[in-house]
Amino acid sequence: MREVPLAIIGGGPAGICAAIEAAKYGVQSILFEESHSLGGQIYHRLPDSLRIIDQRQLGKDYVQGAQLLAELERYRDKFELRQDVLVWGIFPEKEIAFLHNGKTAMLKAQKLILAEGAYDRPMPFPGWTLPGAMTAGAALRLVKAEKVLPGERILLSGTGPLQLALAAWLVRGGATVVAVLEAGTLKSSWQYLPGIWGQWELLKDGLDYLREINRAKVPLLRGHAIVEAKGEKQVQKAIYAKVNRGGKPIAGTERNVEVDTIITGYGLVPSTRLSRLCGCLHKWNPYLGGWVPCLDDYMETTAPGIFAAGDCTGIEGAIVAQEEGRLAALRVCQQLGLITAEEAGRRYSAIFHKLRGLRKFEVALNQLFAIRQGWLAGAADDVIICRCEEVTAGEIRKVIAEGFTNLSEIKNLTRAGMGPCQGRICEPIITEIISLKTNQPVAETGFLSPRPPVKPLPFGSTVIYDSS
């Protein structure tokens, strides 16, 4: 089997920066990206056939992404890029199985950096499975990278500043944003001031978005949330209401609006399928978005030689992800003896210095816009929780009441989590349902252990044909 010194999985900000640093110090790396272009969810590239005349239609992230990709391009001959390639399994001894053009190949890596990224936290409510109800990430991608509006009359429900950014993008694109519902009340938000203090550039971004949606007269309603989506074959109406801290609608405050699109933005969940598969130890941290791998100061997981970087280690944004990617790669270089301890130490302390302020800011934001207990777990019994296998909240609660409080047991008994998304969507919800119903902390409920392939493969494609 072919051997490489370093494999990096995920071509977002963390993976790109890891590849850059590895290349700088002469570590041969191979960078795997599942989609057809680098940049990850935040730095989407635009197709060549789409030209942007108005710079406002590009945005700040695009410019940052372009700079990063230009930096990577300078090292183009010093690493191997495999785009459109799905890494579907990691086996003992860091053997990696990947799929390209319907065929699987394998290679062995001395060191591994996982940069899996994150995905939108699912929020179940009656009608959330209707076409026209989608996540903030899906909508952002459409409006930023495809320049297509997800709908015409749009309701946003969620928490946190990403909603403001999305609303501004939608308004800029010509959509009508009926309202932005912020489930948090932001009471006692002054508590988080120390973490936010000093990060003026990041704060200014948020204020700019706020100003833009104010100008467009989009109502921003604090302490409100989506209650129900209605429609025959797609979203036609939404009911929203004032909610209490636990996310329960307050009777008498419901409002009906005609909309064709409902977008939920309740923060992100770290993608940890591969780090779980590698047997790395994980811990539950609500302010980092859920289950995250346990890491040392240099991003190494509890599995020696396997590192993780970026949002898959906690939701801290693209700037932190870049520094983490660099940090992990530098550590790899040091372990492989390609960088002196002195040089490494100098680089580490510069990165640690940057990370301290940035992480404080992101964690303060995550605390300010924390997901409260009951938001995800509050769906009525007839609401579908597992979208793949069509399992309802009631079916899940029934087996919990029978004493099955472990995710794997619930999966076996109800099929929830057994479908092709492999529990990515329903696991965060079921976890909260168990926790609320049994009064045990989420940290105790455990998580589903994935088995390869981590994504469904076309029939016959696990046949391993070569090792290139």
Chain positions contacting another protein, by CB under 8 A: 34-36, 41, 46-54, 56-57, 119-120, 129-135, 137-139, 141-143, 146-152, 173-174, 233-234, 387-388, 390, 419-421, 424-425, 456, 458
CB of 223 to another protein, least distance (A): 26
What is the distance between the alpha carbons of residues 419 and 229, in angstroms, rounded to a whole number? 24
CB of 73 to another protein, least distance (A): 20
Output 57 or 185, the one with its CB closest to another protein. 57
Output 44 or 94, the one with its CB closest to another protein. 44
Output 133 or 181, the one with its CB closest to another protein. 133
Output 132 or 195, the one with its CB closest to another protein. 132
Output 100 or 141, the one with its CB closest to another protein. 141
Instruction: Classify residue 355 as exposed, middle or buried by CB count within 10 Å of its CB (0-12, 13-18, 19+).
Output: middle
Residues ≥6 apart with Cβ < 8 Å to 405: 434, 438, 440, 445
Output 140 or 295, the one with its CB closest to another protein. 140
What is the distance between the alpha carbons of residues 433 and 75, in angstroms, rounded to a whole number? 48
Output 120 or 323, the one with its CB closest to another protein. 120
The three-class DSSP label of residue 7 is strand
CB of 300 to another protein, least distance (A): 26
Output 132 or 378, the one with its CB closest to another protein. 132
CB of 170 to another protein, least distance (A): 10
- According to DSSP, the residues that pair with 3 across neighbouring strands are 108
Output 129 or 214, the one with its CB closest to another protein. 129
Q: Which amino acid is at 193?
A: L
Is the sign of the CA dihedral 203, 205, 206, 207 positive or negative? Answer: positive
Is the sign of the CA dihedral 72, 18, 292, 413 positive or negative? Answer: positive
CB of 130 to another protein, least distance (A): 7
Q: Which two tokens stand for residue 364?
A: 């303060």
Q: Using an 8 Å Cβ cutoff, are 296 and 303 in contact? A: no
CB of 37 to another protein, least distance (A): 10
Residue 176 to residues 46, 151, 216, 221: CA-CA distances in angstroms? 24, 9, 9, 16
Output 46 or 81, the one with its CB closest to another protein. 46
CB of 138 to another protein, least distance (A): 3
- Single out the residue of 267, 269, 264 nearest to residue 424, CA to CA: 269
Q: Which two tokens stand for residue 137?
A: 């990430």
CB of 421 to another protein, least distance (A): 5
CB of 87 to another protein, least distance (A): 14
Question: Strands, DSSP E only, in 334-446?
Answer: 384-386, 391-392
CB of 234 to another protein, least distance (A): 5
Output 198 or 394, the one with its CB closest to another protein. 394
Q: Using an 8 Å Cβ cutoff, are 258 and 236 in contact? A: yes
Residues ≥6 apart with Cβ < 8 Å to 343: none
CB of 43 to another protein, least distance (A): 14
What is the distance between the alpha carbons of residues 323 and 75, in angstroms, rounded to a whole number? 18
Q: Using an 8 Å Cβ cutoff, are 450 and 277 in contact? A: yes
The three-class DSSP label of residue 426 is coil
Q: Which two tokens stand for residue 226?
A: 């989506």
Residue 356, CA atoms < 13 Å, CB-side half-sphere: 7
Residue 244, CA atoms < 13 Å, CB-side half-sphere: 9
Question: Strands, DSSP E only, in 303-448?
Answer: 306-308, 384-386, 391-392
Strands 384-386 vs 391-392: parallel, antiparallel or unpaired: antiparallel
